[in-house]
Amino acid sequence: MTEPASDHVDAATPGGRRHRVVIIGSGFGGLFAAQQLKNADVDVTLVAKTGHHLFQPLLYQVATGILSVGEIAPPTRLILRDQKNATVVLGDVNRIDVAAKQISATAGHIAFDLEYDSLIVAAGANQSYFGNDHFERWAPGMKSVDDALELRSRILGCFEQAEVIDDEEERRRLLTFVIVGAGPTGVEMAGQVAELAQHTLKDSFRRIDPASARVILLDASPAVLPPFGNKLGNAARARLEKMGVEIQLNAMVTDVDYHGIEVKDPDGSRRRSDASCKIWSAGVKASPLGQMLADQTGAEVDRAGRVLVNDDLSLPGHPEIFVVGDMMSLKDLPGVAQVAIQGGRYAAKQIIAEVEKGRSPADRKPFKYFDKGSMATVSRYSAVVKAGPIEISGFIAWIMWLVVHLAYLIGFKNRITTMFSWGMHMGGDHRSQLTSTKQWVYARQALERVAAEEAAAKRPSGETQQPAEARTSARVD
């Protein structure tokens, strides 16, 4: 059995084998850590529950038909196929044994274990409903390819149903879209839904005018894009309102159901907005692996489930374990791609220094984040950029947004096809990815139902089954 974790990282390994680095997660932190280790004298195993690297900042463009899945989610195995010291494994990690230096995962119904000498945990974050997880049934988030495809089908399905229904009240409900959360994702999504309705779908229906669709962006905070400051937030708000998007701030969501959404205003009054399509982008929570690590190492977690790490991104008493990206909490660093990228590279460099140069973890310099700025697109030809004291909005900011996002896409082919898709969109608002299916709408709830049935089948005969009304229904718009 492997020796328990101590206060140092061993460069030498039993039997002369190479140092084993296991990376959990194929997002920005995990992938860039693996690539940083390309020429290192280590064996890298990257394990993730999906087989692709998701460029999450452009996920909303998949949901609104601008880009295809393949353009923003290339297979991780192909990205790393020329890196001979790297092995890619598809698996959902469900256990980390810190004392044994071992992780356990499943791929379908196959369970397997991986041992490590160094561990980089970059499992990312999920959507947070702030303790109201039942909201997800009617207001899906947007954190995965599946989420984006489901939302695309829900959005387009609302227009299709509105075209054939005779009831005017129900038609208005079908043509009302509510986006919860006025951060970058919510702003980008609201702008694209408005453009889709007003331009892309123009003249394509005979009984309805898609431009009559009502798009509502609401948030419990008093501002749009709070991290960007008042100037840029107001610029984004003005642009959205010019596009017809209704901005409702200081509006706290209290309930979400099939028919719509209920919010509480600052004066305590409650009101409802009937809406068929609800989209949630209001918060995130870290992977539950963070709490699992905290329970075993004595580390603390914040309200979002992020692990409070040391200055070198390691866990207390365990220099061999690094936590990066959305899972870590350090000096109020934001949950953005650059923090994950720089954190992943930093962790990999520490491992290289200690394995190849014999340095001690005590010699590590603290992780320093270089803030390259933040940006969000509002609509075609309009974005906001904040880089230190520099604040830019409008067309120039939009050009900067295009260049930066193209630069960080993985693969030359993906950059070329993305440029072509953007060109079609800019030239005439053509969207070539407007395919939707019933299965994409129903799949998530169907999987939940199957999981519940499997759990019930394994339940001892003496236990009662969950009431039918409490189980997930497949009724969706």
> How confident is the model over 9-67, as pLDDT tens digits?
444 455 678 999 999 999 999 999 999 999 999 999 999 999 999 999 999 999 999 99
Cα distance between residue 67 and residue 432, in whole Å: 8
Strand partners, 216: 178, 246
3-state secondary structure of 190: helix
- The answer for residues whose C-beta is within 8 angstroms of residue 247's C-beta and 6 or more apart is 182, 217, 218, 224, 237, 240, 241
Confidence label for 427 from pLDDT (cuts 50, 70 and 90): confident
Say how far residue 81 (Cα) sits from the centre of its chain.
25
CB 215 within 8 A of CB 245: yes
Confidence label for 377 from pLDDT (cuts 50, 70 and 90): very high
Residue type, 22: V
**404: nearest Cα among 438, 373, 434, 359:** 373
Considering only residues 462 and 128, tell me which one the structure prediction assigns the higher pLDDT: 128
Tokens in use for 244? 């017809």
118-127, 363-372, 436-445: least confident range: 436-445
Cα distance between residue 315 and residue 327, in whole Å: 12
pLDDT at 429: 76
Q: What single string gives the DSSP state of each residue in 297-317? A: H---B-TTS-EE--TTSEETT
pLDDT, one tens digit per residue, over 28-39 is: 999 999 999 999
pLDDT at 453: 83
Query: Where in the sequence numbering do the catalytic residues fall?
Result: 188
Residue 460 has pLDDT above 80, yes or no: no
Q: What are the distances in angstroms from CA 114 to CA 13, 48, 220, 259?
A: 16, 12, 43, 47
Average pLDDT value for residue range 138-165: 95
Strand partners, 285: 126
pLDDT, one tens digit per residue, over 82-139 is: 999 999 999 999 999 999 999 999 998 899 999 999 999 999 999 999 999 999 999 9
pLDDT at 132: 94
Average pLDDT value for residue range 182-188: 96
Average pLDDT value for residue range 74-88: 97
Angle formed at CA 135 by CA 129 and CA 137, multiple of 5 degrees? 125
Average pLDDT value for residue range 242-249: 97
pLDDT at 116: 98
Residue 365 has pLDDT above 80, yes or no: yes
pLDDT at 351: 98
pTM as predicted: 0.89
Provide the CB-side half-sphere exposure for 279 (13 A, CA).
33
> In this structure, what is the dihedral angle of CA atoms 113, 291, 283, 275, given to the nearest 10 degrees?
70
pLDDT at 15: 61
- Expressed in angstroms, the distance from the first to the final Cα of the chain is 54
Beta-strand pair 318-323/118-121? parallel
Average pLDDT value for residue range 150-167: 96
pLDDT, one tens digit per residue, over 273-322 is: 999 999 999 989 999 999 999 999 999 999 999 999 999 999 999 999 99
**Mean pLDDT of the residues in the chain:** 91
Q: What single string gives the DSSP state of each residue in 370-397? A: ----EEEEEETTEEEEEETTEEEEEHHH
CB 118 within 8 A of CB 9: yes
Tokens in use for 334? 């934001």
Residue 454 has pLDDT above 90, yes or no: no
pLDDT at 385: 97
